[in-house]
């Protein structure tokens, strides 16, 4: 589904990301971990063509993401608050995204209604602009908006941060469901090793822009990760 | 304590992003400040002699006093637009052991050195000096000047109290327009009765106690007000208003650009900054009055009429359009990674500007009062705006990479959002082009030929709309990464 080759990104001659080869098959739930500055967000930004690669390229379904825009219809993402439109209410925001992805109001309503317990009654019908919601609630709205329009690839940067424990647990089941039952390729990053090992079939550890571990998740994975980051 | 505050202030000023922008902008800003300060100074010095020359029998001081009421109302309006109480800065100070009263006194004290207070100072100080030189009684002049400064300060503090309410603003604007209108049509002259008030300030120096106490009282009310709201959930944080979703589904008839159009309408109506721009562009409608009321422009420099007509219908186009990608800077990454063709995004902005020009053109119908020629030239200007200016403006926007904080009002001289030399360069053709297009056929053929050519140039633009939009789209595509990077920079 997504193949990365010889990809690197440098700012002022300093390499912040350098990935020789990384293939993510369709329907995989893929996790990216690493300390601050390891290059997680940089990789996701390259994947979304928000920054320009210094060398190499990423192909999504054999489409070069930095040359064609044809990957956009089946890719959706929530990276940070700049993916929200602050002056819209949550519903208006969902409908806007829906319109961009050729979904009518009732399609959007049908999808969003599945996430009522995820929203915990704090998103819909609030009569508040997104900019006036708390960080956690903003994140909930952003994540659900990324699910609109049956995307085949979903990219979420640190989806667990700022969420309350109940919502974190609900989010985990949503993500698992997407990959296992619907065959969606899900890419997430996280600082929470527990959550990411729970959710992802495969975990890649980045350090200073390089891949240092590439693990198929098993019983031993959490231990291994903890040891890696402790040392 | 004050020393620490001043230190913070110093750092805030010199480390602010606008200050660290290019040298060219700094120079331009300094020039701007000198220009405005200088004009006020010149006016202050010259005022006495201008009045003496135009109205030889009148006493300049009485004349000035008579018109002071207009000035005060105008100043109040100007401040409403531009000046805001700097509340956000006190947030980090709340948790530190500093007496609240000290912080508030400092905050209010700081507003006394605002740019707006200097306008009055620069205007009335030289005027008073001239009065003294002309042998007016020293104590009267000095205390009159003092009273005026107290009034300026009172306006300063009053503004913070009324700033939150639009009703007050429209009230004041209506009063001002009504007073000017009544005077213009010789129905009622408000200057005399109000003049009596200000003249007695001059004649009876002890009356200066009134504006002085007014200033103290307003200061005190402000103090109380801030003291009461000195909690995180009150004055400091923004008020969260209950909102209702707006249904704009009737706009769906615009097809593919509809989602963007709907979004833009919401953006404009729900954020402070674009609202301010819309109000400003409304004022552009009156720009023609400067030109059409003066015979000299109509008879000797008619090519400038083309220039004026651009502004009458193009207020929104010019002030909104020049910041086109910036309006969406807060969520630009979303737009860039969503399923959006750039072309539709630009086209919706184009429709918005065209719509604004049409509305402005309809509103400009009263200009018929100045004759059919004037009205036709406004119509030709509107066509030029729709057909060419929209594209020039959109093109200019591609070179503009300054992020905008949507829900913060622009402040005078403290916010250079969207202000850069490229912007000035791109502004030139918008203004000079219509003059040239109008002038050449006017000069060689006739006035009507000028109008027709100006209108035709707009029609040609509309015909080649797709071509222009494609070209502009390419420019936007090319600058995509740079724009994203610039917009995600933290201020």
B338, B482, B489: best to mutate for the A interface, most A CBs within 10 A: B338
| Lowest model confidence (mean pLDDT) among A54-68, A199-213, B364-378, B403-417 | B403-417
Model confidence over B95-105: pLDDT tens digits? 777 777 887 88
pLDDT value for A211: 93
pLDDT value for B479: 87
Q: Which two tokens stand for residue B387?
A: 């057909």
- pTM of this structure: 0.76
Look at residues B31, B42, B63, B50 and name the one whose alpha carbon lies nearest to residue B194.
B63
Considering only CB atoms, which chain A residues are within 8 Å of B243?
Answer: 89, 127-129
State whether A85 and B407 contact (CB < 8 Å). no
State whether A91 and B245 contact (CB < 8 Å). yes
Is the CB of residue B320 less than 8 Å from the CB of residue B399?
no
* CA-based nearest distance B127→chain A, Å: 48
Long-range contacts of A177-182 (CB under 8 A, 24+ apart): A178/A29, A178/A147, A178/A154, A179/A27, A179/A28, A179/A29, A180/A29
State whether B339 and A92 contact (CB < 8 Å). no
Q: Which of B330, B332, B337 sits opposite A86 (nearest CB)?
A: B330
pLDDT band for B415, please (50, 70, 90 cuts).
very low
| Lowest model confidence (mean pLDDT) among A185-189, B295-299, B323-327 | B295-299
pLDDT band for B41, please (50, 70, 90 cuts).
confident
State whether A79 and B485 contact (CB < 8 Å). no
Q: Which of B242, B267, B339 sits opposite A87 (nearest CB)?
A: B267
Model confidence over B112-150: pLDDT tens digits? 877 778 888 888 888 898 888 888 888 888 998 999 899
The alpha carbon of B101 is separated from its chain's Cα centroid by a whole number of angstroms, namely 33
Taking a contact as any Cβ pair under 8 Å apart, which residues of chain A between 196 and 215 contact chain B? none
Model confidence over A174-215: pLDDT tens digits? 999 998 888 899 999 999 999 999 999 999 999 999 999 999
Q: Which two tokens stand for residue B40?
A: 């006020």
What is the residue-averaged pLDDT of chain B? 80
Model-level ipTM above the cut of 0.85: yes
* CA-based nearest distance A46→chain B, Å: 11
Mean pLDDT of B404-416: 59
State whether A92 and B407 contact (CB < 8 Å). no
The alpha carbon of B480 is separated from its chain's Cα centroid by a whole number of angstroms, namely 30
| Lowest model confidence (mean pLDDT) among B37-46, B405-414, B443-452 | B405-414
Chain A nearest-CA residue for B243: A127
Q: Which of A82, A92, A131 sits opposite B332 (nearest CB)?
A: A82
Size of interface A-B (CB pairs under 8 A): 84
Q: Which of B266, B340, B487 sits opposite A100 (nearest CB)?
A: B340
Give pLDDT < 70 ranges for chain A. none
User: How far is B260 from A56, CA to CA, in rounded Å?
Assistant: 34
Domain boundaries defined on chain A: 2-230
Model confidence over B61-91: pLDDT tens digits? 888 888 888 888 888 877 776 666 665 566 6
Is the CB of residue A86 less than 8 Å from the CB of residue A130?
yes
- Inform me whether the C-beta atom of residue A101 falls under 8 Å from chain B C-beta atoms: yes
At the second CATH level, the architecture of A2-230 is: 3-Layer(aba) Sandwich (3.40)
Residue B163 has pLDDT above 80, yes or no: no
- What are the CA-CA distances from residue B12 to residues A158, B33, B262 (Å)? 32, 19, 38
Q: Which two tokens stand for residue A194?
A: 């527990």
| Lowest model confidence (mean pLDDT) among B187-196, B453-462, B474-483 | B187-196
Q: Which of B244, B263, B341 sits opposite A127 (nearest CB)?
A: B244
State whether B259 and A99 contact (CB < 8 Å). yes
pLDDT value for B33: 72
Model confidence over A65-79: pLDDT tens digits? 988 888 999 999 999
Chain A nearest-CA residue for B480: A50
A63, A84, A92, A150: best to mutate for the B interface, most B CBs within 10 A: A92
pLDDT value for B241: 61
State whether A132 and B485 contact (CB < 8 Å). no
Q: Where are the alpha helices (DSSP H) in A101-209?
A: 105-113, 116-119, 135-145, 165-182, 193-199
- Inform me whether the C-beta atom of residue A157 falls under 8 Å from chain B C-beta atoms: no
Chain A nearest-CA residue for B262: A96
State whether B259 and A79 contact (CB < 8 Å). no
- Inform me whether the C-beta atom of residue A131 falls under 8 Å from chain B C-beta atoms: yes
Mean pLDDT of B162-185: 76
More confident site: B36 or A189: A189
């Amino acid at each position: 589904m997504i193949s990365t080759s010889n990809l690197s990104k440098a700012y002022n001659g300093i390499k912040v990301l350098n990935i020789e080869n990384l293939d993510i098959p369709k329907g995989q739930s893929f996790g990216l971990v690493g300390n601050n500055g390891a290059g997680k967000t940089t990789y996701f930004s390259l994947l979304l063509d928000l920054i320009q690669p210094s060398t190499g390229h990423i192909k999504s379904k054999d489409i070069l993401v930095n040359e064609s825009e044809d990957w956009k219809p089946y890719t959706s993402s929530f990276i940070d608050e700049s993916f929200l439109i602050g002056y819209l209410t949550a519903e208006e925001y969902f409908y806007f995204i829906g319109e961009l992805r050729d979904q009518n109001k009732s399609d959007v309503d049908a999808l969003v209604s599945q996430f009522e317990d995820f929203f915990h009654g704090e998103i819909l019908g609030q009569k508040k602009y997104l900019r006036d919601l708390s960080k956690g609630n903003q994140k909930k709205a952003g994540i659900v908006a990324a699910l609109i329009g049956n995307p085949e690839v979903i990219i979420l940067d640190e989806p667990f941060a700022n969420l309350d424990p109940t919502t974190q647990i609900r989010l985990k089941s949503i993500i698992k469901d997407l990959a296992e039952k619907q065959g969606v390729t899900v890419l997430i990053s996280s600082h929470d090793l527990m959550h990411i090992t729970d959710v992802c079939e495969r975990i890649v550890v980045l350090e200073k822009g390089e891949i240092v571990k590439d693990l198929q998740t098993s019983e031993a994975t959490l231990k291994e990760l903890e040891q890696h980051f402790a040392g | 304590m004050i020393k620490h505050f001043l230190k913070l202030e110093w750092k805030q000023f010199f480390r602010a992003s606008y200050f660290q922008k290019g040298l060219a902008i700094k120079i331009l800003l300094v020039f701007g400040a000198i220009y405005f300060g200088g004009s006020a100074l010149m006016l202050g010095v010259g005022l006495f002699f201008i009045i003496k020359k135009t109205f030889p029998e009148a006493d300049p001081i009485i004349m000035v006093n008579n018109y002071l009421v207009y000035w005060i109302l105008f100043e109040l309006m100007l401040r409403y637009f531009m000046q805001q109480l700097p509340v956000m800065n006190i947030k980090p100070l709340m948790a530190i052991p500093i007496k609240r009263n000290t912080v508030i006194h400092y905050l209010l004290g700081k507003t006394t050195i605002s740019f707006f207070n200097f306008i009055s100072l620069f205007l009335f100080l030289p005027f008073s000096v001239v009065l003294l030189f002309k042998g007016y009684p020293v104590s009267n002049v000095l205390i009159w000047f003092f009273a005026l400064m107290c009034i300026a300060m009172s306006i300063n503090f009053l503004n913070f109290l009324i700033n939150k309410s639009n009703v007050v603003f429209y009230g004041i604007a209506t009063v001002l327009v009504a007073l000017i209108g009544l005077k213009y049509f010789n129905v009622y002259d408000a200057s005399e009765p109000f003049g009596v008030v200000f003249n007695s300030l001059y004649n009876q120096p002890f009356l200066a106690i009134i504006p002085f106490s007014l200033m103290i009282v307003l200061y005190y009310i402000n103090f109380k007000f801030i003291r009461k709201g000195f909690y995180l959930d009150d004055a400091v944080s923004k008020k969260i208003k209950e909102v209702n979703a707006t249904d704009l589904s009737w706009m769906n008839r615009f097809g593919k650009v509809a989602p963007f159009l709907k979004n833009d309408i919401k953006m404009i109506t729900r954020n402070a900054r674009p609202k301010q721009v819309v109000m400003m562009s409304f004022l552009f409608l009156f720009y023609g009055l400067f030109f059409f009321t003066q015979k000299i422009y109509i008879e000797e420099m008619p090519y400038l009429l083309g220039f004026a007509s651009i502004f009458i219908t193009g207020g929104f186009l010019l002030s909104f359009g020049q910041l086109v990608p910036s309006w969406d800077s807060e969520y630009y990454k979303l737009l860039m990674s969503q399923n959006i063709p750039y072309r539709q995004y630009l086209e919706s902005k184009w429709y918005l500007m065209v719509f604004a020009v049409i509305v402005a053109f309809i509103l400009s119908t009263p200009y018929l009062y100045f004759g059919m020629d004037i009205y036709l030239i406004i119509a030709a200007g509107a066509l030029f705006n729709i057909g060419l200016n929209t594209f020039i403006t959109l093109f200019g926007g591609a070179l503009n990479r300054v992020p905008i904080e949507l829900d913060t009002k622009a402040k005078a001289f403290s916010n250079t959002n969207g202000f850069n030399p490229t912007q000035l360069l791109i502004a030139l053709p918008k203004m000079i082009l219509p003059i040239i297009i109008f002038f050449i056929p006017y000069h060689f053929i006739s006035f009507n030929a000028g109008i027709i050519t100006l209108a035709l140039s707009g029609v040609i633009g509309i015909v080649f709309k797709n071509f222009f939009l494609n070209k502009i789209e390419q420019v936007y595509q090319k600058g995509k990464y740079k724009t994203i990077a610039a917009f995600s920079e933290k201020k």
